Amino acid sequence: MAFSGLLRPAVLAASRSPRIERTITRMPVTKKVVDRFVAGETEDAAVSTTSALLRSGRLVTIDYLGEDTTDLDRAQGTVAHYLRLLSALSKGRAEDDQPVRPLEVSLKLSALGQSLPRNGYAIAREHAHQICTAARDAGIWVTIDAEDHTTTDSTLAIVRELRLDFPWLGTVLQAYLKRTEEDCRMFAGTGSRIRLCKGAYREPAKVAYQSRAAVDESYARCLRVLMEGKGYPMVATHDPALIDEALRYVHETGRSSGDFEFQMLHGIRDAEQRRLVAAGHALRVYVPYGDQWYGYFMRRLAERPANIAFFLRSFGRNR
């Protein structure tokens, strides 16, 4: 626990360091480890990974990696990537009238221009609207990802506006933020889709719980709010205790397998993913792709000491 407590802040700080990024991305061993968590750099690689997961009975959400964009051309390039991805995903698919969509894409608004110094809010909203329109036409869901706490108000405001045209639009709430329990109450209404995760950014104690126990307790409280609400909870965790807690809430609230889903990351706890599917539960895998993988990769290392150990073992074998 002490090892994890010391390393996590250091790894999260490194995720924002251009100097450390240059060092780590140039290490030959890094790509071998990244391949565990990231499904390649191209749309074709993402579609191939997605097809294999769908054949295994799992659902999929795909994220084109990138964030903190302060260049309009780059934000527009991200939109173009998503439109190509949606076109590729829709090819050869039969009409799907299932209430739960097997395919989804996840968007980070900062990658769509939210952080642009002028009109970032409006630009990100318009870019997200373009992607949601294409997704609707392809029969694919969209969920807006959460980022650090400074973007939360802007992100949720854009989500509220987009849901006027796309009522199925999902969003992410992070249990380590002290505001999240109230946000869950506000977003637990009919038709809402909320992905509840613990949170993966380095946040100050003023706004976020710092200990693992406090975060877990907040997650359980938030999850109960969502399960007792009228929306569609998306339980994003690899934690066995919280998975058991979720199943207990499902039983208590009378939800069926089509009223909620579990979510896990590509490359993490594959056997548990398969076990949950075999038990009749909906489980969606978060599949990232693209060449802007550094920040995502470092946050995955920070989440669990086992991930850091995996990286260090791989480094040692390849020296």
Q: Catalytic residue positions?
A: 145, 195
How far, in Å, CA of 47 to CA of 40, rounded? 10
Residue type, 294: Y
How far, in Å, CA of 5 to CA of 40, rounded? 31
Beta bridge partners of 262: 235, 283
Q: Residue 97 belongs to what H/E stretch?
A: none
3-state secondary structure of 119: coil
Counting Cα atoms < 13 Å in the Cβ hemisphere of 55 gives 6
Q: What is the distance, to the nearest Å, from the Cα of residue 142 to the centroid of all Cα atoms in its chain?
A: 11
- Residue for token digits 């792709």? 289
- Residue 161, both tokens: 């506006």
In 3D, which of 240, 213, 220 has the Cα closest to residue 175? 220
Residue 177 in contact with residue 215, Cβ under 8 Å?
no
> DSSP letter at 189?
S
In 3D, which of 33, 21, 20, 39 has the Cα closest to residue 316? 33
- Residue for token digits 């089509």? 258
Beta bridge partners of 104: 61, 141
